[in-house]
Structures are given as C-alpha cells and as structure tokens.
Amino acid sequence: MKITILSGSQRQNSNSAKVGSFAETYFNTGGAVETFHLKLENHPLPLWDDQISDSQLEEIWKPIHSELSSSDALVVITPEWHGMASPALKNFFLYCDSKCIAHKPALLISVSAGIAGSYPINEMRTSSYKNSRICYIPDHLIIRNASNFCKQYQDPQDQLIKDAVKRFHYSLEVLKVYAEAFTQIRASESIAIDQFPNGL
Ligand SMILES: Cc1cc2nc3c(=O)[nH]c(=O)nc-3n(C[C@H](O)[C@H](O)[C@H](O)COP(=O)(O)O)c2cc1C
C-alpha cells in the first residue's frame, strides 16, 4: 500500500508539514505502508496557467503525477489561513488530471493556530473533488492550537493532546481500511473516466 501525504502550506517550517511528517512516520513504522510526502513549502508549484509549456510540466509535474498515480490513498493537509485553505493547495488541484487521484480515498486534516479550522475542511470538501474525483472520507481531523500539538506530539503531557494523538492515529488507520477497499472501485469496469472525464 502506498499513501501520498500532501502538506499544503507554502510557509517554511509550517505546522502542516510537521503534522504531515508525523503521519509519514506513523505509516512507515512497521514498513507496511510506503509513503510519498509532498511538502508544497519545499516544492512550490508555479501558479497554474495555460502558458506552462510541456517541458515545464515534464520537469515540475510529471514526477509528482507519477507518485500520485501509484498511490492508493492520500492525506490532504491544509493550514487555516484567514479561514481558508491555502492557495498552494488549491493550485495543486489545477495540475491534477482526471485520473491520477480519481477514486482514491483521502483523509482531510486542517491545521490551525487557533480554535477554529473547520472552514478549510468545508472548502476542500466543496471545491476540490469535481474533476479530480478524489474521495474524502467522512472522518476528518482539525488540529487546533497546532504549535502546542506539534510540540507535545512525541511525548504528550496534557490529557487533551494525548486524546488528540490517539484520534490522529485512529484516523490514519481508518484511511488504510478505505485504501484497501477502494482498489475494487478503481478496478471496476463500470469506471469510465475516458468517457466522462469531468464531474458535474
Ligand atoms: C496568512 C495567514 C493567515 C492565517 N489566518 C489564521 C486564521 O484565520 N485563524 C487562525 O487560527 N490561524 C491563522 N493563521 C495561523 C495558522 O493557522 C498557523 O500558522 C497554523 O500553524 C497553520 O499554518 P502553517 O501550516 O503554515 O503553520 C494564519 C497564518 C497565516 C500565514
């Protein structure tokens, strides 16, 4: 099984990427899950426009496309910025074609410095799936007081953080179950993306 972790903050040393690294370590422990961790802070994709040449696409997008295509599931992490998902993440979805992440389950995680964080989840659920066909699972996570969570993740002292870490691991396990099950959906002859490349 292979899972792509998409850390959507374009800010250096972001909490989103730290949370992504926690997920990466969790999946890699025991070796059962291979991961590809794409941190948009280190690999910023240029703002998409239709002038991007084929050779640029070949260089900046093809290696990522290939990792996505061979993945079974995704963890999609968005920071909360002014109550919105990050522009880098929304830009990422403009690069995706109708196949590379189609009918692949994804766990959404929102990372907030404060006590909010639900709007970016809502935004991603509303506006990133139509043509990509990514399938967000019903469970999602909102990491509030993110700096504190990241500081205490390895050795949580507060009961609240202990519970949050447990919930974090639980959701990663749930995603693995979806990842296994969704292979059947993608293998089905009823899936006809070439015939109906765009969602409605
Ligand atoms: C441009 C910008 C806007 C932000 N807006 C909010 C906000 O509306 N509410 C909030 O609680 N935190 C806000 N934050 C703080 C982020 O939620 C915080 O940095 C968190 O760690 C997620 O972002 P990161 O992954 O880039 O670290 C904002 C940060 C930036 C850079």
Strand stretches in the chain, DSSP E: 2-7, 34-39, 73-79, 105-111, 135-143
Domain assignment of residue 150, given as a range: 2-187
Residue 112 CB–ligand 1 contact under 6 Å: yes
The answer to whether residue 195 sits within a structural domain is no
Q: What is the pLDDT of residues 141-172, one digit of tens each?
A: 999 999 999 999 999 999 999 999 999 999 99
The phi, psi pair for 132, rounded to 5°, reads -75, -25
The answer to whether residue 99 sits within a structural domain is yes
**pLDDT confidence tier of residue 30, bands split at 50, 70 and 90:** confident
**Mutational pocket test of ligand 1: of 16, 19, 80, 150, the residue with most ligand atoms within 8 Å of the beta carbon:** 80
The answer to whether residue 200 sits within a structural domain is no
Q: What is the mean pLDDT of residues 186-198?
A: 94
The answer to whether residue 111 sits within a structural domain is yes
Residue 120 CB–ligand 1 contact under 6 Å: no
Q: What is the pLDDT of residues 72-110, one digit of tens each?
A: 999 999 999 999 999 999 999 999 999 999 999 999 999
Residue 14 CB–ligand 1 contact under 6 Å: yes
Kindly tell me if the per-residue pLDDT of 32 is higher than 90: no
CATH number at residue 97: 3.40.50.360
The tally of domains found in the chain comes to 1
Q: Which amino acid, 154?
A: Q
The answer to whether residue 193 sits within a structural domain is no
From 157, 147, 171, select the one nearest 76 (Cα to Cα): 171
Give residue 173 CA to ligand 1 midpoint distance, Å. Answer: 27
For residue 147, give the ligand 1 atom closest to its CA: 21
Q: Is 81 helix (H, G, I), strand (E, B) or coil?
A: strand
